Chain A
């Protein structure tokens, strides 16, 4: 495969910015870095080299015009020395003005021209694996492998499609994925076959032969079901007819039987009617005889009873007449006794009323005397109240005359006085004050104004020692310390005493006293007066006895005086009564009350006796009336009984006993005749009429049912007769036969369609599996390279069957698509892919990889990784890096420049 090339040098003149000649090279076999500033013509250099390699020398057009130095008509002159598997060659081309093409081959270090003109152009394409372009300048797709191995600045980072011959060669060469054309054709054929029957989702396609076949089957099955349903209905109707016919026979028998039964009953009924007339006559005779016998029996019984009752009534009459006389006597005696008692009662009543009046007068006199006594008491009480009121008024006046000194004021005066006295004491004591705070427990002797005292002071505690004039301290392990008094403090205290005294005086003046003692005395007096007033007021309240004020008491006195006056006028007391003492009055009242009680008791007794006597009189009267009524009733009864007996005896002149015997004989004879007639009647003759009616009804019903069944049978017969001629079995037969054919055809189509669908899927599946198998080494290499560059080793690059990057991820099913990657990652990934391609190609010949500032989006860390990788790559592939960032590639490879000739 002639597709391997390595550049050695490029020489330009009259091209782009290079009017004068420049040379790049010689390029090393490994890594070459061409560093130059922007606009220096790096890309122009590479484009010029591709023009020399891939374009015809006599081509023209804009692309070629752009090779001229700007604003000139100079002819671009380009020489490229390159190496292929065929050898070392030099192509020299001049474009536009005087087109020229010369191809030389290195033979033992000397260039030998091997062709020129079009032949040279063609030979070069052959050597480097390019494709002849059309009329114009070549395009990337004509550049063979260089299209894939020249990463050009400013171009998109997308990987080109493998859609040209070179791409196909790479695909084949790299992945060796060879899909059998036969299988491809078969797969297409199967796909077409299944697509004719199924949709992409596996459903039967609309209007497809399969659907039409299925619809035919469904239609036939539906028609078949319809015919079978009709046949089934006919079968059912036929069965029903059979049953109906059986039932009709039964009904027929039943109807005949019912008619017979009804006729027999009609005949029997006629005979019974004749017998029944005889029976009714005998029954009537029997009932008459029976009634006659019963009547005679009853009359005999009534006559006997009347006679017995008459005897009894006469005895009762005599007895009641005797009781009537006795009752009259008793009534007279009771009336006399009652009159006597009523007279006694009237006399006693008069006596009681007289005694009661006397008792009332004495009682009122006694009340008058009590009221008079109460009036006297009230008058005394009113006097005492009035005196007490005066006493209280006097005490209040006395209190009002004293200054109004309060207890609080006295306390305040005493406090000020105490302060003054304290200040005086302090003034006397003012002299020396020493504060001691030892670092350890200490015992010392203090001599205050010649008085010694031993003091124990604890560690850290401050002890203040005061003396009026002189203070001497005997400090252990140190010696004595004497301290004199101070006058300033004394003066301050004096001032404070003066102030407090002024305050005292002001306070005394405010209280209206001259001294504290006077204030205390007045305060005591005030307290005593308040106490007395309170006691007097309490006493006054007690004297008033629940009255609000003394005026109420005065009103009570006046009320009593008026009541006494009124009572005296009413009683008009006699002198004797006035002379009566209280005791005498009380004694007389007691006597009168006792007498009144005795009289009242006698009155009650008399009342009881009168009542008893009245009741007795009533009872006697009632008894008399009762006996009189009874006597009258018995007399009427006797008259009635006598009349009844006479009537009965009048009706039976022959005597009641003979009449009874005659009726008995007639009854026995009638009964015998009735029994004979009854025996002649058929059994249950009373029910015969009902039975006859029932039989007639039953026969009617049987006839109706029979007729109904007959009609139903006729309808069914008509239906079946009409149905039988429809030829349903033949229709079913034809439909079933058609259905079998249709189903067979439908199944055949379906099986073939399913077979095609399955086979198409199967081939796709196996094809993918094959691609996946052969892609794996390339994916391994690509993934390893990408991992080296990115430093991320736990992900893998996956390719699709077109050798496009399917995505990156841990699994094929879970990848990030190429489009989802960052610009930098995409650059790095494509670099890795180009490297993989170049490495693969380099196995069979020299290979060039051009990187024209393609890693502009790569960060510093990954840049280092890239350099490491490119370093390794350059051991197998000639790498030409073209960049304006020389610092990025410093220290690696051969640094080449654009050298003027």
Chain B
């Protein structure tokens, strides 16, 4: 549901940047949506399709990367990939872990002319 708000924010940020850069047509947007960001990639793509009548975004392809959830163990200090939302160290089985990455949601870059 809130993906529309998020895509709206993406459209605003890119439009502002494109105006400064003098870019009139965007061809590609690279978005990073970590697997634990809470935003759904399919819903982001659907929401983006609603903005395609804006001339700046008419031919823009939205690519979304989905980096894994990486956690760090507070006991053995090793990093591991969190599978199936199991926040338990893959090396020492402790549950006292902190999330290192995978919650990010940001525009990485865009291309246009």
A interacts with B: no
Interface residues of B (CB under 8 A from A): none
Where the two chains meet, the residues of A that have a C-beta atom closer than 8 Å to any C-beta of B are none
